[in-house]
Each structure stands twice: as C-alpha cells, then as structure tokens.
C-alpha cells in the first residue's frame, strides 16, 4: 500500500520572527520618508504606532472575512488620521511609492 503525502513543508531560509523584523525595518524606513512629506508634523515613531494599530484592525477583518485589503487603502487612512483630513492626491501618490 502506498502512503499518501499529507503535508509539504518549505524551508524559506528564515523564521517568521526574522521575517517580521525585516518587514518592520522596511516599514519604519518607508514611514520615516513619508513623515518628511507631511504638511502636518508627525514623527516616524507616531506613524509606526498608528501603522501597527491599523495593521491589527485590518488583519482581524482580513482573517474574519477572508479578504485582502490593499496597503494603499489603509495607508491613506493612516495619513487621514495624522493630517485630520484626506491627504492630497500628490501626497498619496508619493506615499504609495514608499510603501510599495
């Protein structure tokens, strides 16, 4: 009798912790660049905290409804929270370059 394969594991060469640290470093660098473009001052640390809060909320929705939320959409929400108003299209386009 032939046994059926029940699972396949891939070794991607790094752990989830390493992946998370690298992702956070890239995100922090992007938010630092974005903070320089804002018309209302906000520190990169503040932006990162808001980013993490938004990520947690979106991750919960993504998991519950099994949908993907484009980063452009929720980064625009982050900028709206920081600026107190919708970001200009120019700022959103520049932000999109850094967060892609």
pLDDT digits (tens, 9 = 90+) for 23-50: 888 889 989 988 888 888 899 999 999 9
Cβ contacts of 94 within 8 Å, gap of 6 or more: 34, 37
The answer to the question of residue 35 being in a domain is no
Q: What per-residue confidence (pLDDT) applies to 100?
A: 52
Q: How confident is the model at residue 8 (pLDDT cuts 50, 70, 90)?
A: low
d(CA 68, CA 73): 11
The answer to the question of residue 26 being in a domain is no
Give residue 47's domain range.
41-100
The answer to the question of residue 88 being in a domain is yes
**Size of the chain in residues:** 100
Task: Answer yes or no: is pLDDT of 80 > 90.
Answer: no
Contact 70, 61 (CB under 8 A): no
The answer to the question of residue 51 being in a domain is yes
Q: How far, CA to CA in Å, does 91 sit from each of 12, 36, 65?
A: 36, 11, 30
The answer to the question of residue 77 being in a domain is yes
The answer to the question of residue 57 being in a domain is yes
d(CA 50, CA 40): 15
Domain tally, the chain: 1
Residue of 58, 82, 53 whose CA lies nearest to 70 = 58
């Amino acid at each position: 009798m032939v046994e059926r394969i029940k699972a396949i594991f891939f070794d991607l060469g790094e752990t989830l912790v390493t992946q998370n640290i690298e992702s956070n470093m890239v995100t922090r660098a992007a938010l630092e660049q974005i903070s320089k473009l804002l018309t209302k001052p906000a520190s990169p640390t503040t932006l990162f905290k808001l980013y993490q809060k938004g990520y947690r909320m979106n991750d919960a929705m993504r998991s519950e409804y099994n949908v993907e939320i484009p980063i452009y959409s929720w980064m625009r929400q982050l900028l709206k929270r920081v600026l107190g108003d919708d970001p200009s299209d120019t700022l959103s386009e520049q932000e999109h370059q850094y967060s892609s």
